[in-house]
A and B are shown apart, each in its own frame.
Chain A
Amino acid sequence: MIRASIGSAIIEPGFFSSSPVQVALIVGSVAAFVSGVVGVFTVVRGQSFAGHSLADTGTAGGSAAFLLGVSPLYGFIVMNLIVAGVMELIGIRRPRGRDVATGIVLGAALGLAALFLYFDTTSTSTTGATINVLFGSIFTLPSSMVPVIVVLSALAIGVTLFLYRPLILSSLSSDLAAARGVSLRLVGIGFLVALALAVSLSAITIGAILSTALLIGPAATALRLTKRTGAAVVTAAVIGVGATWLGVLLAYDSYYWTPSHRGWPVSFFVVTVVFVFYLVVDFAAGHHATARRSVSRGAL
């Protein structure tokens, strides 16, 4: 009885039977899962900036897609793949070259985004474009997009798992990987493709601007929780999916408990859940590490 009443207090009526909620939960879960898997390698390869830049540059593709009247997802993907290719060409594998390549391409693409968003907002038919592109459109996605999103997610995860071992080796030390005959170029390009797909899927869910949170947050949290690569990948995916479900739920509920019944955006809730959870884990892990250090010092 008690549990049922708590349940109904958290989950407002009609949550699971609502069709937009169903689509949001499926798409959100899939996108968060991919972001978690790819995110772990993004963090350990030190490519968080590249990941965030892909998200930002994706806005140019997403806003262009609105002008053409197609789903912003296709715009994100086309743009992100182009940008990833250009980054690799300019030299993302050199430590300094990586920063410069990312920065230059980011600037150029944001210029395009500004232009397309201007066109979007000045043409009457697509007034919601800016909000959709920048902050996500998870509640307004047509269910016909679900199969496409699932296939693209499988592709991103497939590429990451295919490159799994060489990816770990080259993340540890490029010398070590090269000595074993790993093609650093192949691994680098393959991973950027997976990253471009993950960022696009995340952008459609919680928005281009915020997709970094879903890519980096769960991965960074998972790295504090486990010492095995496989476990970190699974943990990050689970955290991402959990945060997305909680975010969707809170956004749905917020319609009931916010003043004037204007629901708050799902992106805000997802990102907040991810961030708060990271802080909690980081605090706990920091405490744990300090305790362990003092113990080992005591032993000496």
Chain B
Amino acid sequence: MAGTTGSSTSEILAVEDVSVSFSGREILRDVSFRCEAGEFIGLIGSNGAGKTTLLRVIMGLIAPTSGTVRVAGKARSSRDPLIGYVPQKIGLDPDMPIRARDLVGLGIDGHRFGMPRPTAKRNALIDAMLDAVDASRFADARVGNLSGGEQQRIMIAHALISRPRLLLLDEPLANLDIKGEQEVVRLVARVAAEQNVAVLLAAHGMNPLLPVMDRVVYIAGGRVASGNAEDVVTTESLSRLYGRHVDVIKVHDRVLVVAGREDEGLHHPESTARAGLA
């Protein structure tokens, strides 16, 4: 289904042969994948693999060197209300005089000029959204004084209140402990299901996402492999992606991806070994 050509009515995002270069350096190469309405996709890769660049291309903040991005079947415009976004490393300034509920309200109309006009309808919408992310308790606190996990909830509410069809989250699990990771993942999955929003969540490791993830987009060295986790996260598939041998080890319900030895190069063992020595 996901791999068929053309835009089916339920397809929310189509990334086709996207390449991005900055001053001669290639960040993304021929990246293609699709996302159906309501799907939960994990965008998995290490630091510098190109996750943030890919998200910025999808949002239209970076123009791809080649390739296209379509959102709900249309070439994307510079601001697409169909996309909600939670940036990485939020760390809001504790001096910023703004309450959590005000920040959520800016998700409705923060791009408009002038001052916000609080109406009963706007307030009700904000209260409902705060409730959906379990943030009512600290709705009136100064947002910069909240913990990382609490700020995360507020940012998710901010991103979702304008009713997007696709939610992009850039490393929302960074700096959280295992319990915090599970809470955020469960929250995103639950709210996304309630509002029928597709999710593309960027993370280092896929284990926290395994219980909720429909598909994985694995990114390494600017290239991606996408599909069901069982198909993509295999020794063969990831070795092809990395261009060198990696071992995929399954322990209980968890997955470990381990780099192989230098002399276990995939196609040209000798040349890889020599390159390793040089």
Interface residues of A (CB under 8 A from B): 40, 43-44, 161-166, 168-169, 171-173, 175-182, 222-223, 226-232
Contacts and interface: CB of A to CB of B under 8 A. Distances in A.
B79 A232 contact: no
List the 10 closest pairs (A to B, CB-CB), nearest first: A181-B79, A175-B87, A232-B97, A227-B142, A179-B85, A180-B111, A169-B110, A164-B115, A165-B110, A182-B111
Nearest to A164: B115
Interface in B88-114: 90, 92-93, 95-99, 102-103, 106, 109-114
B141 A227 contact: yes
A252 to B, nearest CB: 34
A161 B98 contact: no
A222 B96 CA distance: 11
A279 B198 CA distance: 50
Interface string B104-134: 0010011111111000000000000000000
A238 to B, nearest CB: 15
Given A173-B87, A179-B61, A229-B102, A44 B95 contact: yes
A180 B61 contact: no
A168 B98 contact: yes
A11 B141 CA distance: 42
A165 B116 contact: yes
A179 B140 CA distance: 25
A166 B110 CA distance: 6
A164 B114 contact: yes
23 contacts: A44-B95, A165-B111, A165-B114, A165-B115, A166-B110, A166-B113, A169-B106, A169-B110, A171-B96, A172-B92, A172-B98, A175-B85, A175-B87, A176-B85, A181-B78, A181-B79, A222-B97, A226-B97, A227-B97, A227-B140, A227-B142, A229-B98, A229-B102
A40 B96 CA distance: 9
B97 A163 contact: no
A181 B114 CA distance: 16
Nearest to B80: A181
B59 interface: yes
B87 A162 contact: no
Contacts of A223: 95, 97
A165 B98 CA distance: 12
A173 B97 contact: no
B97 A179 contact: no
